[in-house]
Amino acid sequence: MKLPRSRRITRRADFQRVRTSGSTYQGRFLVLGYLSDDSLSEPFRLGLITTKRLGGAVVRNRVRRRLRAIVQRTAHRIRRPYWVVLIARGAAAEATSEQLEKEWKWLMHRTSLTDPDCRPE
């Protein structure tokens, strides 16, 4: 699934709305914030947050690129229009792509972003 800029969250106000009105779920490497919105024309919109706590620009770029690629591969499972914000925690800087993908699938399952019968492997 493609992830052009238009499918990402870029406006400050959108981030704030997900934070104040949406729900969050914490994992080891990631924090998932999500907000259902049936008025969305897209299946979902994604925002990635990589704070300076992760490390320098190189580390943050790497984490962000990995997460984007993971979401690209798996996002077709999202069943309803959602605003999705992924915040990378400090441990994510050291995590492998495999670990991140596993956690992302687990988070999608726990928060019912995906269909209930689509279980993480």
Partner RNA sequence: AGGCCGGUCCGUGACGAUCGCUGGUCGCCAUGCCGCUCCGGCGGUGAUGCGCGGUCAGAGGAAAGUCCGAACUCCACAAGGCAGCGUGCCUCGUGAAAGCGAGGGAGGCGGAGGGCGCAAGCCACCGCCGACGGACAGUGUCGCAGAAAACAAACCGCCACCCGCGUCAGCGGGACCGGCAAGGGUGAAAAGGCGAGGUAAAAGCUCACCGCCCCGAGGGUAACCGAGGGGGCACGAAAAACCCCGCGCGGUGCAAGACAGAACAGGGCAAAAUCCGGGCCGCCUGCCCGGGUCCGCUUCGGCGGAAUAAGCCCGGGUAUUGGUCGCACCCUGCUCACAACAGGGAGUCCCGGCUUCGGUCGGGGCUAGAAAAAUGAUCGUCCAACCCGCUUCGGCGGGGGGAACAGAAUUCGGCUUACGGGACCGGCCUUCGC
Q: Which residues bind RNA (CB under 7 A)?
A: 1-13, 15-16, 41-42, 47-49, 56-58, 61-62, 64-66, 68-70, 72-73, 96-97
From the list 36, 43, 96, 29, the residue with the least C-alpha distance to 74 is: 43
**Residue placing its CB nearer to RNA in the complex, 56 or 116:** 56
Q: In the bound complex, what is the minimum distance in angstroms from residue 118's beta carbon to RNA?
A: 19
- Which residues are 88's β-sheet partners? 30
For RNA, the closer of residues 9 and 113 by Cβ is 9
- In the complex, minimum distance from the CB of residue 58 to RNA, in angstroms, rounded to a whole number: 4
> Could you tell me the smallest distance in angstroms from the CB atom of residue 116 to RNA?
26
Q: Which residues, 6+ apart, have CB-to-CB distance to 96 below 8 Å? A: none
CB neighbours of 93 closer than 8 A, spacing ≥ 6?
54, 55, 59, 63
